[in-house]
Amino acid sequence: MVSAANIGVSVSNSIQGVNMSIAQDFKAFAMRGNAIDLAVGVVVGAAFSGIVGSLVKDIINPPLGLMLGGIDFANFFTVLKGDAAYPTLAAAQEAGAVTLNYGLFINALINFLIVALALFFVVRGINRLTAPKAVPAPGDPPPPEDIQKSGTL
């Protein structure tokens, strides 16, 4: 006779089996080399992003702005909704104006181009290191006399 308690126990065991299977599958996935490599790549990428952000903000944009007449890209914006003209983006945001911040977009675009260029060189270097070596084409076969003299045929 099947009781409700027996059904509950078998369903509970089935659910625990599924959970254990998922946990074991996840552990196998997480310990696989590719997942660990991905995690390391994300951490290094985050650190690299900070370096590139500083490079663009502190090194590239000041001389570029100076060459263009002393402008700061971070202060390129258009007021979409507000009462007055604001001298800086910070002043506009403090006043509660709605702004379109295209200067910050230019900074982000420069960041992207630098990261893309750096990744291009990294991938290019890795491809050169891991590219299969060209196998030289075999030479002409030995003449038949040489084969007969060596005793192989």
Task: Work out how many domains the chain is built from and give that number.
Answer: 1
What's the pLDDT tens digit per position in 67-81? 888 777 788 888 888
Q: Taking the CA atoms of 84, 87, 88 and 94 in sequence, report the sign of the dihedral they define.
A: negative
Domain for residue 20, yes or no? yes
Domain for residue 65, yes or no? yes
What's the pLDDT tens digit per position in 37-64? 788 888 888 888 888 888 888 888 788 8
Q: Which secondary-structure segment (H or E) carries 3?
A: none
Using pLDDT thresholds of 50, 70 and 90, give the confidence band for residue 16. low
CATH number, domain with residue 31: 1.10.1200.120
Q: Exposed, middle or buried by CB within 10 Å (0-12, 13-18, 19+), for 17? A: exposed
Whether the CB-CB separation of 76 and 102 falls below 8 Å is answered with: yes
> Residue 35 belongs to what domain range?
13-127
Whether the CB-CB separation of 122 and 111 falls below 8 Å is answered with: no
Q: Which two tokens stand for residue 94?
A: 């403090």
Domain for residue 82, yes or no? yes
Domain for residue 152, yes or no? no
Domain for residue 132, yes or no? no
